Structure 1
Amino acid sequence: MYIDLSSIKILEINIFILNKKDGVIKSEVSSYRVQATGWIREYEEDFLYRLSHKIELITNLKVRRPDNKGPSEPVESEAWQVGVYSAGGLYLPHYDNLQNEFINADGVHIGNRIATAMFYLSDPVGGATAFPKLGIAATPKAGSMVFWHNLKLSGARDDLLRHGACPVARGIKWVSNKWIRNYIINSINSTKRQN
């Protein structure tokens, strides 16, 4: 299965990492990630909405909004991330879960990344997704999906799921990630909005 990305409206292209230091956001060229990324909201492309539904059926996790209306903040899951790695492109080992709790301007907890569904969209040479602590790696094959839980049932990060993208030896590696979040809950800070 190949996806024609030429008809999809990309929200953002990012080849930099945004680091927040001392309350100031600045762009820096990444020393641990050689990849270009873009974001596509599923409610803008019916195909992605249907694919999110298939992820729900496979994983038994809530991934999409029932009405396909887009929220301004991630709730069930984040926008689809599309990543492209050229020859030599890599992403050093990392975790997908977020380190902080995220509460939007309305005082709503938007949750952590409890799981990752990653789709391979091309067949490069190299570019495997390696899980060093597990001693396994997934080889990119267009149309295949790799799925894992980022958190244990307790909510703690699963340290075994540190993973990275091995360098692409030849060709272009296209991937798409769907990060699934905790269910929406009201924050204890939500009463602050009334004051």
Structure 2
Amino acid sequence: MSELPALDRAALGAAVRDRLAAVPGIFHMPAPIDIFLLRNFLSGEECAGLIALIDADRQPSTLFAPDRDPAFRTSESCNLKRSEPLVHAIEQRLSTLTGIDPAYGETVQGQRYAPGQQFKPHHDFFHTDQPYWPHQEKIGGQRTWTAMIFLNQPETGGQTDFPEAGIRVTPRTGNLLAWNNLDALGEPELRTLHQGLPVEAGMKYVITKWFRERPWG
């Protein structure tokens, strides 16, 4: 199955952008990419429940394409089960927030960063010249939007940095960060390059939900 035409991806991106921009209290960040911050999307109790699920199943994080740098992604992560009532409820809220059909969403991934751990600069969209692409194309195609929720606040460090967009976000418990991985023409947006800076003290927990251009899986 082929990718959606770029114009269709562009229309999807614009629809989600406009929907998010209308959410009370949301902040459309001043940047060359579409990126939004919504405070207190999750309660402290919900965040604590998700942290417990991550701690129960966490494993060393992996990459779609192997990297020669062993320090490229040093966190631990796990896929959170949709059968968990808390996970299911949050997925539904994310779909309601973005207006994206739940069928287009990948499984929510939980991530844990201990002091010194990081995720070096990367894109969430798929590079179509990579060996992983033919399989990803078959199971949903290109990634469109990313929704990341911070579950706690480490003592120091652990910011999410977009170096080419001039944005750096400090983790705050329950805050949601959402951005479009594609540009206004529906093509991969190189300026969405981002990184999880090293945690300096304390722990950092986040969950991430990626949406595809077609139903996932």
Q: Smaller-chain TM-score range?
A: 0.7 to 0.9
Instruction: Name the structure with the higher strand share.
Output: 1
Normalising by structure 2, report the TM-score.
Answer: 0.66
Q: Which residue of 1 is the match for residue 33 of structure 2?
A: none
Q: Does 1:90 align with 2:104?
A: no
Q: Does 1:30 align with 2:30?
A: no
Q: Does 1:113 align with 2:113?
A: no
SS in structure 1 at match of 2:48: coil
Q: Does 1:48 align with 2:93?
A: no
Q: Structure 1: which 5+ residue stretches go unaligned?
A: 21-26, 66-75, 186-195
Q: Could you tell me whether the CA contact under 8 Å between 1:82 and 1:176 is conserved in 2?
A: yes
1:120 CA drift (Å): 0.5
Q: Which residue of 2 is the match for residue 13 of structure 1?
A: 59
Q: Which residue of 1 is the match for residue 204 of structure 2?
A: 173
Q: Could you tell me whether the CA contact under 8 Å between 1:10 and 1:39 is conserved in 2?
A: no
1:12 CA drift (Å): 6.7
1:149 CA drift (Å): 0.6
Q: Which residue of 2 is the match for residue 156 of structure 1?
A: 187
Q: Which residue of 2 is the match for residue 123 of structure 1?
A: 153
Higher relative contact order, chain-length normalized (CA < 8 Å, sep 6+): 2
SS in structure 2 at match of 1:41: coil
Name the amino acid aligned to 1:13.
Answer: Q
1:131 CA drift (Å): 0.5
Normalising by structure 1, report the TM-score.
Answer: 0.73
Deviations 1:141-163 (A, max 9, x none): 11111000111243311111100
Query: Residue 106 of structure 2: which of 78, 83, 93 is its match?
Result: 78
Instruction: Name the structure with the higher helix share.
Output: 2
Structure 1 stretches of 4+ with a deviation exceeding 4 A read: 7-12, 16-20, 101-104
Name the amino acid aligned to 2:148.
Answer: M
1:18 CA drift (Å): 6.1
RMSD: 2.7
SS in structure 1 at match of 2:97: helix
1:7 CA drift (Å): 5.3
